[in-house]
Amino acid sequence: MWGICLDISLCGGTLLDRPVEYQPRENSAVILHPVSGIETDMQQIRPLEQPPKYQYGDAVYPAAHPDRKGRIRDMVWHFKEDAILYFIEINGRKISRLYHEDELMPAG
Protein backbone atom coordinates (compact mmCIF):
# COMPACT_ATOMS: atom_id res chain seq x y z
CA MET A 1 0.00 0.00 0.00
CA TRP A 2 1.05 3.59 -0.57
CA GLY A 3 0.44 6.63 1.59
CA ILE A 4 1.80 9.99 2.67
CA CYS A 5 4.00 10.03 5.76
CA LEU A 6 2.86 12.60 8.33
CA ASP A 7 5.37 11.61 11.04
CA ILE A 8 8.00 14.32 11.47
CA SER A 9 10.02 12.15 13.87
CA LEU A 10 10.99 9.51 11.28
CA CYS A 11 14.46 9.69 9.71
CA GLY A 12 15.12 13.15 11.09
CA GLY A 13 11.98 14.49 9.40
CA THR A 14 13.08 13.48 5.89
CA LEU A 15 9.99 11.31 5.33
CA LEU A 16 7.51 14.06 6.22
CA ASP A 17 5.10 14.67 3.31
CA ARG A 18 6.78 11.94 1.25
CA PRO A 19 4.94 9.10 -0.48
CA VAL A 20 5.90 5.84 1.20
CA GLU A 21 5.12 2.24 0.47
CA TYR A 22 4.03 0.54 3.65
CA GLN A 23 2.59 -2.64 5.08
CA PRO A 24 -0.24 -2.11 7.58
CA ARG A 25 -0.19 -3.96 10.87
CA GLU A 26 -2.79 -3.94 13.64
CA ASN A 27 -2.23 -0.36 14.85
CA SER A 28 0.97 0.48 13.03
CA ALA A 29 2.55 0.63 9.60
CA VAL A 30 5.94 -0.71 8.53
CA ILE A 31 7.51 1.47 5.86
CA LEU A 32 9.03 -0.46 2.94
CA HIS A 33 10.10 2.37 0.57
CA PRO A 34 12.01 4.69 0.29
CA VAL A 35 13.57 3.25 3.47
CA SER A 36 12.69 -0.11 4.94
CA GLY A 37 11.90 -1.49 8.34
CA ILE A 38 10.73 1.69 10.03
CA GLU A 39 7.53 1.40 12.03
CA THR A 40 5.12 4.22 12.81
CA ASP A 41 1.61 4.66 14.17
CA MET A 42 -0.98 4.02 11.47
CA GLN A 43 -2.44 7.48 12.22
CA GLN A 44 0.80 8.96 10.81
CA ILE A 45 0.13 7.58 7.31
CA ARG A 46 -2.48 9.10 5.00
CA PRO A 47 -3.40 6.28 2.56
CA LEU A 48 -3.38 7.03 -1.16
CA GLU A 49 -6.21 5.74 -3.32
CA GLN A 50 -3.72 4.69 -6.01
CA PRO A 51 0.03 4.11 -5.97
CA PRO A 52 2.26 6.73 -7.60
CA LYS A 53 2.63 6.45 -11.38
CA TYR A 54 6.42 6.43 -10.91
CA GLN A 55 8.37 5.06 -7.99
CA TYR A 56 11.74 5.80 -6.45
CA GLY A 57 14.49 4.85 -8.92
CA ASP A 58 12.26 4.53 -12.00
CA ALA A 59 13.88 5.56 -15.30
CA VAL A 60 12.10 8.60 -16.78
CA TYR A 61 12.63 11.64 -18.96
CA PRO A 62 10.87 15.00 -19.11
CA ALA A 63 8.24 14.91 -21.89
CA ALA A 64 9.56 18.23 -23.23
CA HIS A 65 13.17 16.92 -23.29
CA PRO A 66 13.35 13.27 -24.40
CA ASP A 67 17.15 13.51 -24.63
CA ARG A 68 17.42 14.01 -20.82
CA LYS A 69 16.96 10.52 -19.43
CA GLY A 70 17.18 10.18 -15.68
CA ARG A 71 15.71 8.52 -12.57
CA ILE A 72 13.18 9.46 -9.92
CA ARG A 73 15.29 10.55 -6.95
CA ASP A 74 12.55 11.84 -4.65
CA MET A 75 8.82 12.45 -4.43
CA VAL A 76 6.83 14.90 -2.35
CA TRP A 77 3.12 15.35 -1.70
CA HIS A 78 1.65 18.72 -2.67
CA PHE A 79 -1.35 19.18 -0.38
CA LYS A 80 -2.90 22.11 -2.28
CA GLU A 81 -2.76 20.27 -5.61
CA ASP A 82 -3.54 16.91 -4.00
CA ALA A 83 -0.82 15.35 -6.14
CA ILE A 84 2.62 13.78 -6.04
CA LEU A 85 5.46 15.87 -7.48
CA TYR A 86 8.70 14.28 -8.60
CA PHE A 87 12.39 15.21 -8.41
CA ILE A 88 14.68 13.56 -10.95
CA GLU A 89 18.40 13.00 -11.31
CA ILE A 90 20.14 13.05 -14.70
CA ASN A 91 23.65 11.60 -15.03
CA GLY A 92 24.15 11.87 -11.28
CA ARG A 93 23.11 15.54 -11.24
CA LYS A 94 20.12 16.43 -9.05
CA ILE A 95 17.60 18.51 -10.96
CA SER A 96 15.91 21.01 -8.64
CA ARG A 97 12.73 21.36 -10.71
CA LEU A 98 9.60 19.57 -9.53
CA TYR A 99 7.70 17.61 -12.18
CA HIS A 100 4.04 16.62 -12.27
CA GLU A 101 3.51 13.04 -13.37
CA ASP A 102 2.11 14.12 -16.74
CA GLU A 103 5.36 15.99 -17.43
CA LEU A 104 7.38 12.76 -17.24
CA MET A 105 7.57 9.76 -19.55
CA PRO A 106 8.90 6.27 -18.75
CA ALA A 107 12.36 5.68 -20.20
CA GLY A 108 11.74 2.08 -21.01
Give the number of domains in the chain.
2
> What counts of helices (H) and strands (E) characterise the chain?
0, 11
Kindly state whether residues 96 and 65 are assigned to the same domain.
Answer: yes
> Average of pLDDT values for 54-81?
96
Give pLDDT, residue 108.
75
One domain for residues 63 and 101: yes
Calculate the average pLDDT of the chain: 95
76 in a structural domain: yes
**Does a structural domain hold residue 84?**
yes
Residue 26 lies in a domain: yes
Which domain range does residue 83 map to? 59-106
pTM: 0.90
pLDDT for residue 59:
97
Note whether 38 and 66 are same-domain residues.
Answer: no
What are the pLDDT digits (tens) for 24-62? 998 899 999 999 999 999 999 999 999 999 999 999 999
Residue 53 maps to a domain: no
